[in-house]
Structure 1
């Protein structure tokens, strides 16, 4: 069995609504024309691609097309539309899909209300958040109220880059947004959360960091050595980083082996980043795990055992509800 935790759904009606509100920081153009909508044709195409790669389940999100606006009304309207469409796609998927809820951030009370609706009425199995929300780091204290509610739910929280490349014109002017900007955001966000002691203060939240945590595995020793300049406690970042889970969107076997050695194979989850990785690239995102030189036991943990343990009954219930 294989469970893909990093897969995107981009409904045209939702993207159009975002544009009518002024668009997102990353823009909606990157999400259009990718056969990633909830139409019957797109769903069948997605299922066929999953079948070819041997993927049993995808967990859908609309990131980084997140419903984040200064206007409360716009954020709520966009979040509700995204979640309703995702729930409909799950129902169409014949037990092959589940979904992460989108939240109308930075509006905390409205986000808590939408989280409850998505869990209790729509059967979603976690929430998706961005590394930054309208320029504010996810680790900012203003989001502690949301984390408290998520902690009470023992929620799975999928963290996706916002797509702004750390607001670095050096990165964006060189068109390095995808290959470098996104993993840089993953790296900085995870360290900011550790620095703010968020995983320690809200220990029942299960955070998933995208793209193997960006540069974390490669730089972990360097980060530990220099932790005294940014850590408020003597805790080592390498130990705190093991409070997270990490998806495998990367496709470089050496990087995967490094992540296994750094975090442990029990902290890794299959991810493909579809629709940005489709067809042959989708197969690569799945197959490289088994071809990386890891043990068969570690590969099975990454493919499905860790996700099954992480989501538990929520994933099983989502499948039963959609069948």
Structure 2
């Protein structure tokens, strides 16, 4: 059994509204990209692709961009409700294909987001929510988001974290835009890593250790820079002049920074990079790694990254029990998933 804990879709009515938006630059930038991937909107195409993988189900979320980019907060909230009702409907109609969904929330209005989270969990049975690394450029350790973390920690649900910078984030201060899609290839992994660091040093994980974060792309940069995250950050403040100490003053932590970084869960969406996956598993431990593919954003527009990840896991020096834990055991335990109901 394989449960894919991080893959994307555009449900029909949501997709229609998404493609009709013409006054939000971030949305317009992704409309062409998503139009070129049939499996995002066509279930027949998607199901034909998934047949290759046998006993395989997906946990769905809505494809990027973040809902906060859709326009005014009221519009963003409307799209969140539309997305969540449709996602719940897909899971109900196709339980043999979809193990559940993580709800869409727009965090540019925290009160509306909390109401949507309650609706998703209480009425629709969502397994969690998907959030992004920042909200219109604002970090998620701002105090206004504390009620969000309290609610999500109390829920015991999954918090999928997806990166979200664009070409408007330059690679150098002297430039105005990122070139060569560096903003995506490297910038997204930096985004995820910065998000994790801010959750650590702002004390979010200290105050709400029950948060079940699932960090996309194998935990991004963190496992590959364990020396900097570990003994490097044990020396926090040693590199900072006395008149800049505010830059390194955070929430009082009771453990090493490294210990908090190991509290995150991560997926296997590393696009076929076997060595990177091996490093991620070694850093976090088998019990913190969930099978996730990022489908359907591979060059084949659906099955490619799933197949590559399966191949990586087969090649790694894992026991059958460890492989089964990554494929389905960890997510089943983490979210208390049951067996799929018969399809209607």
Please report the TM-score for the alignment, with normalisation by the length of structure 1: 0.89
In 2, the alpha carbon distance for the partners of 1:322 and 1:186 equals 36
Q: Is the 8 A contact 1:103 1:114 kept in 2?
A: yes
- Give per-residue Cα distances to partners, 1:112-143, cap 9 Å, x unaligned: 11111111222211001001111112232221
Which residue of the other structure, out of 265, 277, 301, is the alignment partner of 1:245? 265
Which residue of the other structure, out of 322, 325, 342, is the alignment partner of 1:298? 322
In 2, the alpha carbon distance for the partners of 1:27 and 1:306 equals 32
Single out whichever of 220-229 and 130-139 deviates more from structure 2.
220-229
- Structure 1 residue 71 and structure 2 residue 72: aligned? yes
Deviation at 1:161, TM superposition (A): 0.7
Deviation at 1:236, TM superposition (A): 2.2
- What is residue 284 of structure 1 aligned with on the other side? 308
In 1, the alpha carbon distance for the partners of 2:206 and 2:167 equals 27
In 1, the alpha carbon distance for the partners of 2:296 and 2:314 equals 22
Residues 249 and 310 of structure 1: CA distance in aligned 2, closer, same or farther (over 3 Å): same
* Paired residues for 1:201-220 under 5 Å: 201-220=207-226
- What is residue 34 of structure 2 aligned with on the other side? 31
Aligned structure 1 segments of 4 or more residues deviating by more than 6 angstroms:
none
- Structure 1 residue 198 and structure 2 residue 201: aligned? no
In 2, the alpha carbon distance for the partners of 1:322 and 1:194 equals 42
Single out whichever of 8-17 and 127-136 deviates more from structure 2.
8-17
In 1, the alpha carbon distance for the partners of 2:68 and 2:85 equals 17
- What is residue 131 of structure 2 aligned with on the other side? 129
Query: Aligned residues, how many?
Result: 316
Deviation at 1:231, TM superposition (A): 7.0
Residues 14 and 198 of structure 1: CA distance in aligned 2, closer, same or farther (over 3 Å): farther
- What is residue 81 of structure 1 aligned with on the other side? 82
SS in 2 for 1:36: helix
SS in 1 for 2:186: helix
In 2, the alpha carbon distance for the partners of 1:94 and 1:149 equals 27
Deviation at 1:321, TM superposition (A): 9.2
Single out whichever of 162-171 and 115-124 deviates more from structure 2.
162-171
In 2, the alpha carbon distance for the partners of 1:308 and 1:262 equals 21
- Give per-residue Cα distances to partners, 1:7-32, cap 9 Å, x unaligned: 00124214225x24525376433322
Deviation at 1:304, TM superposition (A): 0.8
Larger Rg: 2
- Structure 1 residue 181 and structure 2 residue 187: aligned? yes
SS in 2 for 1:100: strand
Q: Is the 8 A contact 2:80 2:105 kept in 1?
A: yes
SS in 2 for 1:111: helix
- What is residue 244 of structure 2 aligned with on the other side? none
SS in 2 for 1:276: coil
Deviation at 1:177, TM superposition (A): 3.3
- What is residue 91 of structure 2 aligned with on the other side? 90
* Paired residues for 1:93-112 under 5 Å: 93-97=94-98, 98-112=100-114
- What is residue 276 of structure 2 aligned with on the other side? 255
Deviation at 1:66, TM superposition (A): 2.3
In 1, the alpha carbon distance for the partners of 2:343 and 2:147 equals 32
Q: Is the 8 A contact 1:28 1:65 kept in 2?
A: no
Q: Which runs of 5+ in 2 are unaligned?
A: 238-247
- What is residue 307 of structure 1 aligned with on the other side? 331
In 2, the alpha carbon distance for the partners of 1:90 and 1:73 equals 26
Q: Which runs of 5+ in 1 are unaligned?
A: none
Q: Is the 8 A contact 2:192 2:220 kept in 1?
A: yes
- Give per-residue Cα distances to partners, 1:177-225, cap 9 Å, x unaligned: 3322222211111111111121221122211000011111110111222
In 1, the alpha carbon distance for the partners of 2:228 and 2:92 equals 46
